[in-house]
Structure 1
Amino acid sequence: MRALVAAVIGLAAALALVLTISAIGAPPGETSPKPLLTTVPGPKN
């Protein structure tokens, strides 16, 4: 029973955190038009 109560409290805290962050909104700014490199560029032929 204690584990169930702890799980419910943890889930409620996580949900409250998500709702708080979404209520605040994204910070102002722009995204970069250049794509990010996900791998190391190899030698050019």
Structure 2
Amino acid sequence: MRALIAAAIGLAAALALVLTMTAVGAPAGKTSPKPLLTSIPSHP
């Protein structure tokens, strides 16, 4: 029974965290205009 209560508390805490992050929204800012380097640099 203790395990069930602990699981319920953990699930409630995780759900509260997700809802809080959803309510806050995405942080303000912008993306970098420079593209990411996706190629492997050549060896000298």
TM-score range, shorter chain: 0.7 to 0.9
Count of aligned residue pairs for this structure pair: 43
Q: Residues 24-43 of structure 1 correspond to what in structure 2 (within 5 A)?
A: 24-37=24-37, 41-43=40-42
| CA distance in structure 2 between the partners assigned to 1:3 and 1:10 by the alignment | 10
Determine what percentage of the aligned residue pairs are the same residue.
72
Amino acid at match of 1:36: L
Q: Structure 2: which 5+ residue stretches go unaligned?
A: none
Q: Structure 1: which 5+ residue stretches go unaligned?
A: none
User: CA RMSD of the aligned region, Å?
Assistant: 2.1
Matching residue of 1:14: 14
| CA distance in structure 1 between the partners assigned to 2:38 and 2:6 by the alignment | 39
TM-score (norm 1): 0.73
TM-score (norm 2): 0.74
